[in-house]
A and B are shown apart, each in its own frame.
Chain A
Amino acid sequence: MLFPTLAFGVFFLFVYFTSWSLDRENGRRKLFLLLASWFFYAQWDWRFVALLIASAVLNWGVAALIAHSDEAGRRKLLVGLGVAANLLVLGIFKYYGFFVEQAGELLARFGWERDLPLLEIVLPVGISFFTFQGISYVVDVHRGKTPPAKSLLDVMLLMSFFPHLVAGPIVRASDLLPQFDRVPRLTREMAAHGFLLIGWGLFKKTVIASELATRLVDPVFFDPSAYGALDLAAAVYAYAVQIYCDFSAYSDMAIGIAALLGYSFPRNFDQPYRAKSMQDFWRRWHISLSSWLRDYLYVPLGGGRKGLVRSCLNVFITMLLGGLWHGAAWTFIAWGALHGGVQVVERLGRAAFQNRSVIPTWIGVLVTFHIVCLGWILFRSETFPMAMEMLAGLGRFEPATMVTPFLLTLIVGGLAMHWLPPRAVEGFATWLKPAPSLTMGLLIGAAILLVEAVRPDGVAPFIYFQF
């Protein structure tokens, strides 16, 4: 059940009205939201609802044991076991096939060919997101940053809450558990913000991302050898816009839907292509993941506390594993290595120039954007040879055959939205807040009608569903 579908619209209307009708009793309301979230998840594969429940029970149990334990060594052992159990679940479902295949190839290279047990494992949607949420909950309880949840219901809802379940943002226990303590308050500002985010996300996903994907990106990346440099470059820029509009649209809609149910999610994107360095890019792109990697991987590795060389190594390892998190393929690892490598160069440069800014901001933005685009070639290509073919084709000058004025407008428009005022949607929501319900309803209806009138039939799954 994808967000921009009629089925989800009907589902959401039912959930919205029922959940607010249960606002007298918070426990019942949470139970209803949990059942609705399981129903939502079961639309992909009902069998994985059991996995979701098992994961929540595991994390709740480990956190409860940590909270009731006074001995430091025992607490450390428990948190280690909890993290390992979460990673085991992720490893089996997401990385088992990849590692077995690599091991088989390695053995064959040394002349020890073996029939390793390859399993056809279906990847549960959103497993990377709910597993990371589980890890952060257990670690935060161990660190004393968040108290253990008051009930199993809270942990289950934290991990299963349908707006963020399948593609984030990664909402931490410290953000959401306190909101579960009482029936939330829905203010007009929250509601206006939610409506606008849903409408804006709908436009970005179903118009910009879908049109660019079907008319330019998918055909060119499918057979790069058939196109010249102009088409290939346009496809790379188009993919940069597509993945931003696709993923940020999901986050916007998730935040908007949660807001209409009374819950507040953290911001996940902040005009990432305005970044003037790679470090700045990761402060603006998929913020919930980058802050997760910082707190639960980079800092435990030592962060920047152990000197320049060690901090460079730590940031490189973090980005490499961040790449692997996106998918079990060498292209993702190379993508992570590229981002890590550039950040290492930036750190060394800052150390050499003693943090003085020696590059004008606009050059920094331009260079960062093109390095990010280079990374998107690795990210989007199915295999390394295809990525290399794309890169080689960028030197082959032939007339453009795929780029139309319409597609160019979408690419330019998708990039130009990064230069809107930083909090444009929030500002617009504050401005619209005093409007009567009739005006607001007609406005929202007209905006959705416009999007519905121009969107292609059907809707492709969000890119980040596969992660």
Chain B
Amino acid sequence: MSDRPDDPDIPLAPLPTTLPPSPFPPLQDEATPYLDDPEPSPTQPAEPPFTDPPSDWIQTADAHDLPTAPGPEPVNPLLALGRFAFPPGEPPDEEGLAARDRRWTSRVIVIATVFLLTFNIASVQNWVRQQEPGWVTTTVSRLSEVWSEQMALLGAERPREAVREAYENARDSDWRSGDSTTADGS
């Protein structure tokens, strides 16, 4: 009888011939079976085998094609701060684009209205004069008078008056002299 388990000629039944697989990972320093080592030397500690570091060599690659590591891009600190404070949002969808266009249109209307209220308040006064007197027209008239006086202090009525004057001169000029005459003939 042989106690070598790998000898196929001698059955070891009823004892098992192979061990069941271990559920644990193999140990790092597992001792080698002494039966495989003809001259074991238990007094000397086993030295770790020397291995080369893993190579990064790629057999099929051309060295000129390999990517080189990108250098750090210079970052404008103000831009970086701005991106940090106001991170860019998602690109707008169709509804978002429509809403953006509506906001743009509304801002244009508001800006044009404020511009006209500043420089063209005389038109409001002219309009009020043409209306029948009433609560609304009286209120608008008083408000526009006060506003007009305040704007006049800033000189906001001058552009309109200058354009009006130039236009009336051109309108009233005649063929003979090219001079302008006013409506009353003076």
Contact = CB atoms under 8 A, between A and B. Distances in A.
Q: Do A and B bind each other?
A: yes
Interface of A: 5-7, 13, 16-17, 20, 23, 185-188, 191, 195, 211, 260, 404-406, 437-438, 440-442, 444-446, 448-450, 452-454, 457-458
B152 interface: no
A185 B115 contact: no
A449 B98 contact: no
Of B104, B119, B130, B178, chain A has the most CB atoms within 10 Å of the CB of: B104
Nearest 10 pairs of A and B residues by beta carbon = A441-B111, A445-B115, A437-B107, A445-B112, A191-B105, A453-B163, A6-B127, A454-B167, A444-B112, A441-B108
Of B105, B123, B124, B178, chain A has the most CB atoms within 10 Å of the CB of: B105
Nearest to A188: B101
Given A186-B102, A188-B105, A191-B108, A457 B163 contact: no
Interface string B48-68: 000000000000000000000
B174 interface: yes
Given A185-B98, A442-B111, A458-B130, A448 B116 contact: yes
B146 to A, nearest CB: 18
16 contacts: A6-B127, A186-B102, A187-B98, A406-B171, A437-B111, A438-B107, A440-B108, A441-B110, A441-B115, A445-B112, A448-B116, A452-B116, A453-B161, A453-B164, A453-B167, A458-B130
Nearest to B160: A453
A211 B115 CA distance: 26
A42 to B, nearest CB: 16
B111 A438 contact: yes
B24 interface: no
Nearest to B140: A6
Contacts of A406: 170-173
Chain A contact residues: over half helix, strand or loop, or mixed? helix
Interface in B76-132: 98, 101-102, 104-116, 119-120, 123-124, 126-127, 130
A442 B115 contact: yes
Interface string B144-186: 0000000000000001110110010011111100100000000
B175 A405 contact: yes
Given A449-B160, A453-B163, A453-B164, A437 B115 contact: no
Contact of B113 (A13, A185, A188): A13
Contacts of B123: 6, 452
A20 B102 CA distance: 8
B111 A445 contact: yes
Contacts of B164: 453-454
Nearest to B113: A13
Contacts of A260: 105
Contacts of B115: 441-442, 445-446, 449
Contact of B106 (A20, A187, A195, A458): A20
Contacts of B119: 445, 449
Given A6-B123, A186-B101, A453-B163, A444 B171 contact: no
A3 B7 CA distance: 112
Contact of A441 (B102, B107, B120, B174): B107
B127 A441 contact: no
A463 to B, nearest CB: 21
A187 B104 CA distance: 9
Given A5-B127, A405-B173, A441 B101 contact: no
Nearest to B159: A449
A2 to B, nearest CB: 12
Given A404-B175, A458-B130, A448 B106 contact: no
B109 A13 contact: yes
B116 A445 contact: yes
Contacts of A442: 111-112, 115
A441 B112 contact: yes
Contacts of B159: 449, 453
Of B98, B112, B120, chain A has the most CB atoms within 10 Å of the CB of: B112
A187 B102 CA distance: 7
A458 to B, nearest CB: 6
A6 B124 contact: yes
A448 B173 CA distance: 25
Contacts of A17: 106
Nearest to B116: A445
B108 A437 contact: yes
B106 A452 contact: no
Contacts of A454: 163-164, 167
